Amino acid sequence: KQEVTQIPAALSVPEGENLVLNCSFTDSAIYNLQWFRQDPGKGLTSLLLIQSSQREQTSGRLNASLDKSSGRSTLYIAASQPGDSATYLCAVHYTGTASKLTFGTGTRLQVTL
Amino acid sequence: SQTIHQWPATLVQPVGSPLSLECTVEGTSNPNLYWYRQAAGRGLQLLFYSVGIGQISSEVPQNLSASRPQDRQFILSSKKLLLSDSGFYLCAWSNGLGNTEAFFGQGTRLTVV
């Protein structure tokens, strides 16, 4: 069964810390992996898309890595800020699934002052 | 640039009443369109997807249906709502190719009472 798991479910860090969010998937046959941010009661905002042939992608303070062979991706947030507080979702586009994304349940991040 | 619109933002409906949620995309042609549902504490679940006008694929058996009357319009409907239909509904689009980014609307919070 193709699944996506995110650990931890929740995380609280003081402002300024660097942090890593983890995502694991069960099948290495993927097209791509996408990281999203979701604020309470809102839709999803795309943060980074990593194609299956890529090892990492960077956008500002965010860096996402992909290791297909081990079925893992990490989202690294540098110098965290209170505005980074949100739920972060990882989604995998498995091959042969007609562009359907399989989502993890997310990591709820709180950055405190 | 491409934008996605979803409405209404919130909806409270009695059990047994009909439902119609609408999603439109601007700035692109022939997008893949998706309806997801997010239940509390659970990951996003794909309900329907469409690769073209009049083409609808259902991922899970349920009380809901979807239609795509125009290229950039996707509608989620029900003839008679159940309590279990309550949740956060998200529309999304991606272009017709497999290795592409998905973009989400702002969601509709549906409460069936």
| Cα separations in angstroms, A85 against A34, A39, A50, A81 | 19, 8, 22, 8
Q: What distance in Å separates the CA atoms of residue B64 and residue A87, rounded to the nearest whole number?
A: 27
User: What is the secondary structure of B32-80 as a DSSP string?
Assistant: EEEEEEE-TTS-EEEEEEEEETTEEEESS--S-EEEEEETTEEEEEESS
Give me the residue from A31, A42, A51 closest to B106, CB to CB.
A42
- Please report the pLDDT score of residue B24 as a whole number: 97
Q: What distance in Å separates the CA atoms of residue B107 and residue B103, rounded to the nearest whole number?
A: 12
Residue A47 CB neighbours (<10 A)? 19
pLDDT (average), residues A34-60? 95
Q: What distance in Å separates the CA atoms of residue B45 and residue A100, rounded to the nearest whole number?
A: 10
A2 close contact with B: CB closer than 8 A: no
Contacts A51 to B, Cβ<8 Å? 99
Q: A50 to chain B nearest CA, in Å?
A: 9
- Please report the pLDDT score of residue A96 as a whole number: 75
Q: Residue B71 is which amino acid?
A: D
* Length of chain B measured in residues: 113
- Please report the pLDDT score of residue B97 as a whole number: 63
Answer whether residue A69 shows pLDDT above 80. Answer: yes
β-partners of residue A10 are A108
- Residue B8: asked if its preceding bond is cis (omega within 30°), the reply is yes
Q: Residue B17 is which amino acid?
A: S
A106 close contact with B: CB closer than 8 A: yes
Contact between B50 and B32 under an 8 Å Cβ cutoff? The reply is yes
Q: Residue A61 is which amino acid?
A: R
- Please report the pLDDT score of residue B40 as a whole number: 77
Of the listed ranges A25-29, B24-28, B96-100, the one predicted with least confidence: B96-100
Answer whether residue B98 shows pLDDT above 70. Answer: no
Contact between A12 and A112 under an 8 Å Cβ cutoff? The reply is yes
Q: For residues B82-95, b (16+ Cβ closer than 10 Å) or e, as one string?
A: eeebbbbbbbbbbb
Instruction: Give Rg (Cα) of chain B.
Output: 13
